[in-house]
Chains A and B, each alone.
Chain A
Amino acid sequence: MAKVIETIKMKTVDAPWFLIYRRKSENIFVRLLMYTMLINIAYIFLYPVFYMISTSMMTIDDFVDPAVYWIPRTVNWANFTMSLEAMRYWYSLGNSTYIALLSAVGQLVSCAMAGYGFGRIKFPGREFLFMLVIFTFIVPPQTIIVPLFILYKNLGWIDTYNPFVVPSFFAHGLRGSLFILIFRQFFRRQPWELEDAARVDGCGALRTFATIFLPLAKPALLVVFLFSVVWHWNDFYEPTMYLMKPDKYTVPLRLSILSTSLQEVMGGSNEFYNEPLVMAACFLVVLPPLLLYIFAQRHFTESVERTGLVD
């Protein structure tokens, strides 16, 4: 620490007035500049979302008309009703929810267990197992997709939800290793006296975990749950591999076949397939995770800050 301070002392120069740091009474000019910049960046980030929402309500005439900018002349709900029908939205929503919720719960339990083992218990072989976790964290799932596909086919798991749900209950699944890391870091930061206290009270390792550490881990659990639900919902790669029957399709998969399924619904004609309709369908796909995030936003940010994610 002393060394750091020494270096700071050495490097201090007379800074120009606009760079001089004042925490409480910050220069109004600098502040204004910062806010303008940030609002601009935020606009860039949110622009496609706004564009999608605005376009999804337009008729095709509004869309082509250069005079119509952002606000459509009439709100065209037909885009939504048609894409709801073409995507079989409520049905595939059920499929998506099933996968996302079940996998998230599985990962919650199993990754917390693995994280606890890594974070709190020193046992022979821990280093080796932790290396395996890092390994699964880094290697993209695409590298083993060919043999994995053959394996699932032989197990008869194609067109079922087992390829998503079963690995999730065993601390794998979509980014399971990241969740193990989050839990490991969280458990490592808890005071070490907790175990001693538990042992004095006669708790075994499992009881200690279930009654002391799991309730403590609420913020970490919330963060992992939200991440897992949203990522499973948005996952497109694995569902395209393992789900062939349209009956089993998740919402994003439905979006990918929107053009053909619209033709079926409309009796062979494709005159209704246009950009505003596609935007409406996209909006329907994006909406559930976005709503979840907006509602959970406060707890989410708080939990992220409390857990620190990694340390």
Chain B
Amino acid sequence: MKIDNLLLLNFGKFENKSIEFKDGINLVYGQNESGKSTIHSFIEGMLYGFFKPYVKVKSYNDKYEKYMPWNSEKYNGILIYEKEGNRYRVERNFMKRKEQVEVYDDITGENITYLYKYNSIIKQCEVASKDFNINSTVYNNTISISQLSNKTDKNLMKEVKDSLVNLGESKSDNISVKRVVDVLNKKIDEIGTQGRKKTSPYGKLVQNIEELLVEKQKAIGVSEEVREKQTIYNESVEILSQMYAYKRRLEEEKNNYELNNFKYKYEQIINIKEEINNLNVELKKIEKCRDYKVETIDEVITNIKLLDKLKDDKITIEDQISGFRKSMCDEGNSQINNINIQKDLIAFEALENRKNYSNKSNKEEFDELNGSKHKYLKKRNLGISMLIIITLVEICIKFLAGNSLGTNVFIGYLLVVIIFCLYIIICNSKYLKIKSNIKDLNKEDKLRRSELISINEEIEYILKKYNCYEKDQLYEIRTSNNYNDILIKERNNHIDSLNMQKEKMIENITKICAINTEAGVEYKAIDDLVKLKKNIFKLEKIVSEIDNKQIILKNILGEYSIEFIEEKIKHSNSKADQLAINSIEEINNNVEKVNDDIIALNKKISKQEQEVLNLERGTRGIAEITEEIEEKTIIKDKYETELAGINLSKNIIEKISKNIHKDFAPILNSKVLNAVKNISGENISDIKITENMEIRVAKKMDNIKTVESFSSGTIDQIYFALRMSINDIITKNSDLPIILDDCFTQYDDVRLKNILKFISNEYNNRQVIIFTCHNREREILNENIIDYNYICI
């Protein structure tokens, strides 16, 4: 197969540029920037378009933009290639939205686009599908070779080796499974592992999540604690409100007490005020007496009394005087009477004396004697009885004892009898004596009595005379008579003095009246004055009482004013009642205590409150933490999925590669060996490909050497040979043209000659297109008489 013509209608910097190729070697010469790469790319573009390969939706690669003509709206070209006698003309419009590819049979002109495989993604046929049968990637890596210029021999062989290795593992010469796996490993590293906590994102994330979980647990714990504390706080608050209630009750009690006190005070005050008012009223009534002084009034009263007394006295005296004068008339008579009475009185007294004397009597004596008489009578009688008794006894004894009793007894008895008889006789005589005495007395008594009777008669006579009943009256008469005498005497004196007094009195009266008038007191009744005086006293008393009450009032008020107290009690209607005196102390103590408790509890409560706040402040909200955990977990999951995917991919790739190696590598090796054998003109006895894809060649009579030890010429050849055979293995095609773009710039002349000769020999059945900016190729080809087609840009 070969490419016949290129027609760059509007492509890059070319417009209607035509290039013709021939069989064999085509040398395209152009200086730098002359467009060699453009033409090179044109071929690719014509065959494949500038689409990105392996895409689901049409997209363009870089070359599209690169070769779009600036000055034209057209972007198109024609390529004609030939295979097995058929000429195919490919016409392509590159311009976006107008792109189109048509293939014509160049001989018949028939449109044979339908013969080409249609790609629904780029909506065109694939030009290379029919005859080239390789895609653009493969094209670029196989038959189109560029950028060899920098490579040394070593690099060349490395390239081959790599290709072989790659082929052996991936059946694609440029896919190095090792590199692929390295790339995947690198991706894995970038994500990291769980173990590499500090350096890998994944590890860090895992650790972060763990820390967050711990934080969340802590936060939940804190939340629990907060609830606990808040419950306790609420309880404390409840207790506090109870304390306040209790305090309020105490204060109420205290108020009540004070109120009560005030009420009490107030009542007292009212009372006192009333009293004071009353006193004042009374005071008003007797106000007037302020004008008077007690002393003056006393004086006046005294004076008035005196006056009255004097007046009375005066009257009395006057009465007396008149009385005296009157009685003095009576006196004449009475003087005479007086003498008579004296006489009678003496007689009377004498009579009385006699009477007394008579009366004086014997009564005592009489009684005495009587007493004695009886005494002795008694004694006598007693004796008699005794005598009788003894006699009887004696008789008895005698009777009983008979005659045994001696004479002694009889004598005794006789003595006793005698004694008793004597006794009796004595008593009897005395008795008789007394009796006679008594008789005498009686006789006396009789005499006396008669005397007495006569005395009494005489007394009666006297009394009758004066019209009295008893002696005393007589005396009285006498006394009064005496008295009258004296009186008369006195009277006369009196009258004199009385007169004198009377004079004086009249003097005094006048004086006093004068004084009284001077004192301004109208002559009033003493009662009035007394009343006045009383009033004055009363006034003073009232005043002092008022003062006292004021003092009491002041004491009751204490430090308060009445308005204050009124204000205090004005809302309460009830009356005061008595409270125990010491309850106020108790109440105050309790108030103090509850105040202390309240302070302590308040402190505790604010501490608790602060604790709760601090706890809450000390951690993040659970919501936040949870969210962060979720967020990070999602990323972690993503990482993990990615890691899993990458690992899976790695595993599969390695598995596949192993299989390839197992199946394909041997075939590859043999092919390679053949290719190398064919090249080397020198004798190669044996070729081995090591596991590292190193090619060891054994020359005849030499040791085994690696390929690299050969000359560069040989290496080149081997490289190309290998490369081509690889290409052929891949493309299964061995007649595709080879396009070499600026490959040999760095080659020295010898090497260049070498490779050119090789190429012309080896690939004499293929079209070879060489792009160069040197003339050397031309020269060498000329020198070596190698046919070529020269195209100059």
Determine if chain A interacts with chain B.
no
Interfacial residues, chain B to chain A (CB-CB below 8 A) = none
Which of A's residues lie within 8 Å of B, judged by CB? none
